[in-house]
Amino acid sequence: MLTLDKQNFPETPGRYAVPGDRSFIFATGIENSYPTIKGRDGSSVRVDEMAKSGHYGRWKEDFALVTELGLKYLRYGPPYHLTHLGPDRYDWSFADETFAELKRLGITPIVDLCHFGVPDWVGNFQNREWPELFADYAAAFAARFPWVRLYTPVNEIFIAATFSAQIGWWNERLASDQAYVTALRNLVRANLLGEAAILRTRQQAGTLFIQSESTEYFHAECPAAEDRASFLNEKRFLSLDLCYGRDVSASMYRYLTGNGLSPDEYDWFMHWGERIKPYCIMGNDYYLTNEHMVPAGEGPITASGELFGYYVISKQYTTVFTSPSCIRRPTSPTRSGLPACWPRNGPTCCSCGATACRSSASPGTASPIRSTGTPRCARKMATSIRSVYTTSSGRSVRSVRPTEGSCLSGAACCPLRASASIMADAGSAFSTSEQTSSRRS
């Protein structure tokens, strides 16, 4: 099994490892999550979104829709629970067919290797042996498809740990701080080991990890709730803290180590997270449910609706982590959209929640992407970003507005319901200085 050490992990680049071109990337994605939930009879039921959307039988048609939209980049991944059959055992039949077609069509995949679930034989995110098993899977995938260079190894770690082990909805369906920290530990470790395995297998050149994480905010309902909300607003960063090796506060350190993370494990995350960070672009997701209202005492936390909005909360994340950032999945309209002062300390990308419908009566005409990054087939796109904003490369992009005939329902006829993204590879902007932090002695 792969581990992180100086012999099998390449040297960290002197600056962020970015592609040579400086073009925008405007992409969409096919939802491929597969968590297990509690069925009506009490047994575990797998919710496979690609099965629900009919993708397994209509994947060629779905890929044709990507081409029809004029897009060249697709967030996509093989069904992990059907591909990884056991230690060093894989069924690549579906991946071989689908990735060969993507390559034939000239679509560059952003490969999503683990999306909210694991194979039945692994169990769930409480399995401490899973991270090394996942790293083997990532290495095997990278060896089989060496032309793939863009990856999201583990999707939305905060959400996966929260829904599985803090509020008891998915997978292990536990609800405790100890279960949450265990899931968080295993998910982040799997992510880091998976990234190292991919880098070791296909080397550094052109390899980027376009991560995806939910951007959250907890509003205090009253002054008496401020301490509780402050704690949760620190806790929301933990997945990225460990992924990027950012030293946490004393209260978060006590929370982690008091719930099962050993000091040695914490030091491991600090060391290797910082080492792998230069290969990463931080993706920030926003949904209507990402903002929460926190009451005093132990009262239930409820959804607040949009109070700060995407820009304010995502700016908090980019300020904390000083990382190249990717605007992903802003699926709820904001009052003010993205202002022209969007952070310029690193490359940005913008996610537009684009969807395409197989049953659309008037398909758009696919045309080359304009220099601004906006497809001419925009009448088929449904976006939530309304303003003109400036990227880190200094170019302005005007967002697309929904039009009649756009599919906004997210129904089964819409397999391309994940986000569209614009990534600005801004070259020298990647040479952002690392945030300094005081280390524990």
> Torsion over CA of 124, 9, 146 and 93, rounded to 10 degrees?
-20
Residue 276 is part of a domain; what is its CATH number?
3.20.20.80
pTM score of the predicted model: 0.75
Tokens of 28: 């969409």
Cα 90 to Cα 141: distance, rounded to the nearest angstrom: 9
pLDDT over 90 at 432, yes or no? no
Residue 1 located in a structural domain: no
End-to-end Cα spacing for the chain: 32
pLDDT-derived band at 5 (thresholds 50, 70, 90) equals: low
> Is 5 within the bounds of a domain?
no
- Rg (the chain; Cα; Å): 21
CB 362 within 8 A of CB 421: no
Mean pLDDT on 154-163: 97
Lowest mean pLDDT among 21-35, 124-138, 418-432: 418-432
* Helices 177-202 & 250-258 angle (0-180, nearest 10): 100
Answer whether residue 440 is part of any domain.
Answer: no
Q: SS3 of 73, please?
A: strand
What pLDDT score was predicted for residue 395? 33
The Cα–Cα gap between 88 and 1 comes to 10
- pLDDT at 257 (0 to 100): 98
What is the predicted pLDDT for the residue at 386? 24
Quote the pLDDT of residue 262.
Answer: 98
CA torsion, points 355, 360, 364, 368, in degrees to nearest 10? 40
Q: Tell me, what's the pLDDT at 331? A: 53
Residue found by looking up tokens 């000083």 in the block? 322
In the numeric block, the tokens 């077609």 are attached to 101
At CB < 8 A and 24+ separation, what contacts does 142-145 make?
Answer: 142/197, 142/198, 142/201, 142/202, 143/201, 143/202, 144/92, 144/95, 144/96, 145/95, 145/99, 145/111
3-state SS class at 280: strand
Structural domain count, the chain = 1
Q: What is the pLDDT of residues 88-110, one digit of tens each?
A: 999 999 999 999 999 999 999 99
Q: Residue 9 pLDDT > 90, yes or no?
A: no
Residue 441 lies in a domain: no
Q: What sign for the dihedral angle of Cα 95, 97, 100, 105?
A: negative
Residue holding tokens 């796109």? Answer: 381
Q: Does 430 have pLDDT greater than 80?
A: no
Spatial contact of 70 and 378, defined as CB atoms under 8 Å apart: no
What is the pLDDT, as a whole number, of residue 328?
63
pLDDT per position as a tens digit, 300-338: 999 999 999 888 999 999 999 987 777 665 554 444 343
Report the chain's mean pLDDT, rounded to a whole number. Answer: 76
Range of the domain at 304: 24-430
Grade residue 398 by pLDDT with cuts at 50, 70 and 90.
very low
Pull the structure tokens for residue 248.
């946490």
Quick: pLDDT tens for 385-394.
222 222 233 3
Tell me which residue of 320, 178, 176, 191 sits closest to 249, measured CA to CA.
320
Token pair, residue 362, equals 């008037």
Mean pLDDT value of segment 19-32: 72
Q: Is residue 292 part of a domain?
A: yes
**What tokens does 324 get?**
């190249």
> What pLDDT sits at residue 347?
33
Is residue 439 situated within a structural domain?
A: no
Mean pLDDT value across residues 59-86: 96
pLDDT over 50 (residue 367): no
Position 323 scores a pLDDT of 75
pLDDT tens digits for 211-260? 899 999 999 999 999 999 999 999 999 999 999 999 999 999 999 999 99
Residue 138: inside a domain, yes or no?
A: yes
Closest-CA residue to 290 (of 219, 239, 352): 219
Contact 317, 240 (CB under 8 A): yes
**Using CA atoms, how far apart are residues 368 and 349, in angstroms rounded to an integer?**
19
pLDDT at 324: 76
3-class state of residue 270 by DSSP: helix
Q: Would you list the DSSP string of 44-65?
A: EEE--HHHHTTHHHHHHHHHHH
Distances (CA, A) of 201 to 62, 139, 194, 276, 339: 30, 6, 10, 15, 41
3 in any annotated domain: no
Q: What is the pLDDT of residue 143?
A: 97
125 versus 409: the higher-pLDDT residue is: 125
